[in-house]
Amino acid sequence: MDRRQKKTRQAIIDAFVKLLTKTSYEKVSVKDIIDAADVGRSTFYSHFETKDDLARQICFELFDHIFSPVVPPCSTHNFSDMPQNTETRITHILYHLRDKREYYLGIINYDDGTLFLGFFRDYMLQNVSIKMSGSYDEYSQRVPEDFLINSLTSSFVGMIRWWLKNKMNPDPEVVAGYYMALINPAIAEFQTKGE
């Protein structure tokens, strides 16, 4: 993708995000996005198949960043020198959700979080494997990984919704600690496939 295409793609994303701050996800149409981004219909469709595909790509960029083996520093937080374990990754996601809430809130809040949950679950199934805690070897043989990922992603989205209802309090580290207290008995680690 050349510089012009990247700039156009970002203009479409920015227009979509701005629209989500003013109206609900289901009321935003592709035509609204095209008009706000000042691009043609064919330009939009050269970058994204649908509005849902646009939302999915926004979320997948976040997940790619979080689950990258090498995490670059961000302007408001730096996880690059921390161990890339599950708790750090959960905390990192929460920082992004808080720092760029306008990017994600419209997607997270749509349809009770079902859309975001689906994106997160799809990403986890495609890119993340789960290392079971040593004491749960028998458990890991009885519970398929896709079932486990589905359960973990559902509870993760529930945690995010709880955090949003509480106006993003307490801090990300505390909320990640709560989540880890729930999953630690069974889960040793989320790992990017191929690590």
What is the pLDDT, as a whole number, of residue 195?
Answer: 54
Contacts of residue 122, Cβ cutoff 8 Å, sequence gap at least 6 = 56
Q: What is the pLDDT of residues 22-43, one digit of tens each?
A: 888 899 999 999 999 999 999 9
Average pLDDT over every residue of 120-137: 63
Check if the beta carbon of residue 104 is closer than 8 Å to that of residue 62.
Answer: yes
Q: What is the mean pLDDT of the chain?
A: 82
What is the pLDDT, as a whole number, of residue 50?
Answer: 97
**Dihedral angle sign, alpha carbons of residues 8, 9, 12, 15:** negative
Q: What is the pLDDT of residues 89-106, one digit of tens each?
A: 889 889 988 888 877 778
What is the pLDDT, as a whole number, of residue 133?
Answer: 47
Q: What is the pLDDT of residues 37-80, one digit of tens each?
A: 999 999 999 999 999 999 999 888 888 877 777 777 787 788 78
What is the pLDDT, as a whole number, of residue 33?
Answer: 98
Q: What is the pLDDT of residues 142-188, one digit of tens each?
A: 777 777 777 887 888 889 889 988 989 999 999 999 999 888 766 65
Angle at 35 between CA 31 and CA 41, to 5 degrees: 55
What is the pLDDT, as a whole number, of residue 130?
Answer: 57
The token duo for 136 is 């749960």
